[in-house]
Structure 1
């Protein structure tokens, strides 16, 4: 049924005309150093900017991008949402802020948040497929670059900015946003910030899928402990049982505060130097059942005492639950400070070096995992990163780049299963394009040297080489066909090499977020990917449609293998390597149906699918299912109305030791109204109805799908004043 729907939508898109989003044609890709427009590259690119970004922005990067073709969300409760690109996550997907890595520890564990605030973004650029040449071997899956203009790249006369407030009913979430930019003469400044507070997330039905939990424990060879969701007295409660909440996910409240200040000095025609400081703080709860040792009964008793009934719960119960003195739930308290410096020079040596860009960033990251009032584990990471790009403009663009990163990582406490490790990375790359009348070619290469030095010994170093080539052919004024080929190499990450290294059996540390013992292998080889993308694009005067197919074969893909053994009741997994193949398809289009009532009626359609299989170890786990989505919208100069549907098939190939997830159909609708005042002042008000059918949605990409489904039916509303 869904495949038929996709075929019908593709056919409709090829017979109608649609307005092309401005970002597809005019937007210059900052993430690509030779700065091409989105329509001038064979790389699979997703761009969110302007009003489209404002409408889709959510509290996490994963939720913001999760419905775009080829991109999914891997949630770990409302406090964490990490993007998954074509089934690749963790160290294979790089999150950047203004071209430099976020430098958090989100790739280390699925319960660690990405330290990027989407509400402050001006543009989000996603390069799907290998971006290894530009940003290192870890970018085999893709790159997500969030741009926020914290160092103003252009002169600003006067003062401009925006103020926004939005409320989300699903988690009783309040979010405020402030952005202020200005300048005089050669000086420009940037000031921005957000605050966010949210309560336990409301869901349809029970939080824990007890049948799925029991099935997974059977797959892992564990004894099943019943999860009681009946009302019972405190005296009868079994401390080995995990309380199941109805209508909400317990311990998922939180708060965050982000503050950024920056400035730049402009000299010459387009040159500038600038500095910025960013503080990112968040405190959020981890849903019960997420951590292996979190089997206490305190949260269940508190919810009953505060009046949480089967059909719902009250706000007072949220607060008392979250902050009760005897609460033993797990919370993460995260703080990151980041310092950025940039230098942009133009016309340095015309014809040879037309543009030189230099970046230097220092990041100080810390988060503690709180068990009640006690610190269970503390993670510290200090990172220095530098980047230099020398660009030649003209008919054929070229860029020579040097990238350097030094990293000091340490984990202390109950869950410190990865030893303190110092890492250093060097990368040298060159990319060149060539133009003819109908062809655009791009060729490039990169060499990387990575050294990892753990405190336990076993220092490892890796030297790898990557190559890529793309070709874009203009068939006609409306049709392009693009081919991208890449050979990418990734050095093993710290956790893949050194987890539980040198620990005796009785000292093995459980990775609580996944509920297993993970053991690294210092003898792992680099991971090599051979990737091919073929895309067909149609762009009319007021239309676009794009179809992309991809194939990615890995040599020595690194993954966790179940040994079949256990320490007590905790299964033991080891990092292993096996060849793997990924393939899939992505489609996106927009169809202008008619001019109606002073506005345009438009149908948008997208679909995606990815499959992944190991040579010997079966299906790759936690891949997104086949999805088909559509949006019908009417928009005039001031008013916009839309209704959308996203249909996902069941994931019945979940991978070894994983449970299947059901399919779902999610309906959303919304309305927005903007008023233009004198000058550049504009007021935008919006209202969204989300998951109108109150569907129970469990994401196959999430480690926590059996414990924490997605929000139920809810309303989100907000207002934004831009001046």
Structure 2
């Protein structure tokens, strides 16, 4: 904490420096014609603009020093340059045409760069693209990212799985701070709405060097909506209708920026009835959600600050069996009521050739679960289902409040053309308190602190990234249990160009995860999971070592990638039944054993000449997880292959228009744990079309998408409803409209 106060002191007494400007022109390298509306962005400053009709751009109020500047435009190859500010002359930038999609800046890694410059392999998807492909929720959308799946309870509850690891083994970051929302439970989802989200990044593999405990399996990094460019304002209102659930998502937002101040506001509401299969509706998969996001930014030449706030409230049904068939949208018993507040403040002080980042966060998670009482006849049961709509007469059986304070302070040392180095300290203080009549985990306080150092070294033929980190976690339980965990971790990676168009990346990293409060202290039944879970206070930390090898080939007309990994985990924690019963519920205990996971993702992307508007994509992903005793790990995704044909146009009347058809083939999953059953494979057909037209002098974006168009009845291996033989969702048509002003 001393480092934080010292850093805040620096913010107050930061010296006054002269302010600088940069300007230049951007043109087509083939025709020398000026390019308008090119994105110009300085990632370290998080400041940018767009070129005007003459290709001219200018950015004011910039600090002195070496800075990376990026130029990107649809249909052209992105370009990056290192510039030294102040500059005495204008920049003259030429961009080459390219059929390869424009890539955004990678935020989740410490050295913000285009993916092609990164030593670590990071997957990134734009939320706009995921929604256009028919994703109903954020958890649904991330399943389109290679190597990522979701454990689902219907459509309202989903949690990420990265290469076979999930729950507390995958860390989620939102608004630049780690999200904590009691994610240990099977039926505990992300609690994040995808409105007001720009993009999603996925670090696959141990990221403990960057993020500490719980990043053993990877990181899901959710980037919030960007502020408007300087001296610009915009707004939008939109809605999406989903035929299967007769549901909708409506959102509205506005944002504006001057040279110094920025703000944005966005609100959304969503409501869905029970989803439908070919034969029935799945009772109590209905849910309602409200979301509000706000952001305020301030920036001068040598200091910038960004404060964001998000509140998300949701009422989620917990399905158990097929019962009443209706299109009502108010959940039945049992259901969850969750309110999640996220406050974040991100500050940066710029010195000559160095900078100091200070990220502070506070997350308040209020979780209530209302359970169904025993009933003597169906009539009484039916009456209570309607009565519970008035929540004032109900008492939450389970009520937990989780308060989490995060801090992350990093100093970027003065860099040169050869080496960039960061040192930092991160930590967390977390308290859990119970207010309901039932208790799954006791009142407790958790404290984390970690120190790290990492460098990115540029050699003539390779880039190398090295890092080391030490962490300490203490858990103090009211009942008297006190645990202390320490871990030293490191990472090393290299990226090199094998040929002009072929890039290879090799990364070696260790990671760790301390046992969470549930694994150490649980004693109770989990609603909907049909398990009485008993914790184990003697559990040790999980420790892993992973090797990643990635090879990519990019040409003007085709791209190929192959990613392979091998992950060995010591002291892997898992649940196992012991044949006993408590309260008519089978008992499960937390045990440990060493485990190994291995697999990868492979794909090809064709955009043949001269028809660059045609894209043919195919990708395959596989993962196998086994304990050292030969037993398979639970909840491992089945192998799958995605085949997509996509066309993209940009005409005067219909801008950014597209159409696609997709077939996802999921294979049989026969490599299952002792507590699982085999799952049959299936094929799902999807298609969509969309574009932007001029309406009342502004842009109107229209999207139509259809998922599971053949209305296939199937069960995903990661569905929590699988043990009851309940199918996943049937045919769904989505219609989206968004008006920009």
Which residue of 2 is the match for residue 410 of structure 1? 433
Which residue of 2 is the match for residue 148 of structure 1? 224
Q: Aligned to 2:306, which of 274, 282, 285?
A: 274
Q: Per the alignment, in what secondary structure is the counterpart of residue 119 of structure 1?
A: coil
Once the two structures are superposed, what CA deviation does each residue of 1:307-338 show, in whole Å capped at 9, x if it has no partner?
x4xxxxxxxx322x846xxx6x2111111122
CA gap of 1:589–1:162, structure 2 versus 1, over 3 A, is farther
| C-alpha separation in 2, matches of 1:618 and 1:359 | 42
Within-5 A mapping of 1:458-477? 458-477=481-500
Within-5 A mapping of 1:468-487? 468-487=491-510
Aligned partners of 1:191 and 1:260 also within 8 Å:
yes
Gap regions ≥5 residues in structure 2: 1-96, 373-387, 389-393
Q: Aligned to 1:75, which of 152, 161, 165?
A: 152
Q: Per the alignment, in what secondary structure is the counterpart of residue 429 of structure 2?
A: strand
Which residue of 1 is the match for residue 562 of structure 2? 547
The higher relative CO (CA closer than 8 Å, separation ≥ 6) is in 1
Deviation (angstroms), 1:180: 1.3
| C-alpha separation in 2, matches of 1:274 and 1:621 | 41
Instruction: Indicate whether 1:644 and 2:653 are aligned.
Output: no
Once the two structures are superposed, what CA deviation does each residue of 1:89-129 show, in whole Å capped at 9, x if it has no partner?
00000111022112211x22121221221222111111111
Which residue of 1 is the match for residue 403 of structure 2? 382
Q: Per the alignment, in what secondary structure is the counterpart of residue 249 of structure 1?
A: coil
Once the two structures are superposed, what CA deviation does each residue of 1:445-466 show, in whole Å capped at 9, x if it has no partner?
1111101111111110111111
Aligned partners of 2:134 and 2:734 also within 8 Å:
no
| C-alpha separation in 2, matches of 1:520 and 1:94 | 22
Within-5 A mapping of 1:524-543? 524-543=539-558
Which residue of 2 is the match for residue 621 of structure 1? 634
Deviation (angstroms), 1:60: 2.9
Within-5 A mapping of 1:181-260? 181-205=255-279, 247-260=280-293
| C-alpha separation in 1, matches of 2:232 and 2:671 | 57
Within-5 A mapping of 1:277-676? 277-289=309-321, 300=323, 303=324, 308=325, 317-319=326-328, 322=330, 329-346=333-350, 348-350=351-353, 354-371=354-371, 373=388, 374=394, 375-392=396-413, 393-395=415-417, 396-413=419-436, 415-500=438-523, 509-567=524-582, 569-593=584-608, 595=610, 600-616=613-629, 618-637=631-650, 638=655, 639-675=657-693
Gap regions ≥5 residues in structure 1: 1-16, 206-246, 290-298, 309-316, 501-508
Q: How many residues align?
A: 616
Deviation (angstroms), 1:412: 4.1
| C-alpha separation in 2, matches of 1:662 and 1:18 | 41
Instruction: Indicate whether 1:21 and 2:101 are aligned.
Output: yes
| C-alpha separation in 2, matches of 1:406 and 1:65 | 29
Deviation (angstroms), 1:53: 4.1
The worse-fitting range, judged by mean Cα deviation, of 513-522 and 491-500 is 513-522
Deviation (angstroms), 1:541: 2.9
CA gap of 1:19–1:468, structure 2 versus 1, over 3 A, is same
| C-alpha separation in 2, matches of 1:79 and 1:349 | 48
| C-alpha separation in 1, matches of 2:715 and 2:101 | 31
| C-alpha separation in 1, matches of 2:699 and 2:453 | 43
Q: Per the alignment, in what secondary structure is the counterpart of residue 466 of structure 1?
A: strand
Q: Per the alignment, in what secondary structure is the counterpart of residue 495 of structure 1?
A: helix
Deviation (angstroms), 1:360: 0.9
Once the two structures are superposed, what CA deviation does each residue of 1:219-255 show, in whole Å capped at 9, x if it has no partner?
xxxxxxxxxxxxxxxxxxxxxxxxxxxx111112121
RMSD: 2.1
Once the two structures are superposed, what CA deviation does each residue of 1:38-90 show, in whole Å capped at 9, x if it has no partner?
11223231111274244247343321111221001211112112111001000
Aligned partners of 1:58 and 1:119 also within 8 Å:
no
Deviation (angstroms), 1:521: 1.4
Aligned partners of 1:34 and 1:391 also within 8 Å:
no
| C-alpha separation in 2, matches of 1:595 and 1:691 | 32
* TM-score normalised according to structure 2 size: 0.80
CA gap of 1:50–1:198, structure 2 versus 1, over 3 A, is closer
Deviation (angstroms), 1:675: 2.2
| C-alpha separation in 2, matches of 1:617 and 1:657 | 14
| C-alpha separation in 2, matches of 1:446 and 1:285 | 42
Aligned partners of 2:283 and 2:319 also within 8 Å:
yes
Aligned partners of 1:648 and 1:664 also within 8 Å:
yes
Deviation (angstroms), 1:678: 9.8
| C-alpha separation in 1, matches of 2:294 and 2:267 | 9
Aligned partners of 1:18 and 1:543 also within 8 Å:
no
Q: Per the alignment, in what secondary structure is the counterpart of residue 281 of structure 2?
A: strand
Which residue of 1 is the match for residue 719 of structure 2? 702
Q: Per the alignment, in what secondary structure is the counterpart of residue 230 of structure 2?
A: coil
Aligned partners of 1:698 and 1:706 also within 8 Å:
no
Which residue of 1 is the match for residue 37 of structure 2? none
* TM-score normalised according to structure 1 size: 0.82
Deviation (angstroms), 1:158: 3.1
| C-alpha separation in 1, matches of 2:301 and 2:719 | 50
The worse-fitting range, judged by mean Cα deviation, of 633-642 and 381-390 is 633-642
Deviation (angstroms), 1:341: 1.4
CA gap of 1:169–1:594, structure 2 versus 1, over 3 A, is farther
Once the two structures are superposed, what CA deviation does each residue of 1:398-444 show, in whole Å capped at 9, x if it has no partner?
21121111101123445522111110101111111111121111110
Aligned partners of 1:530 and 1:553 also within 8 Å:
yes
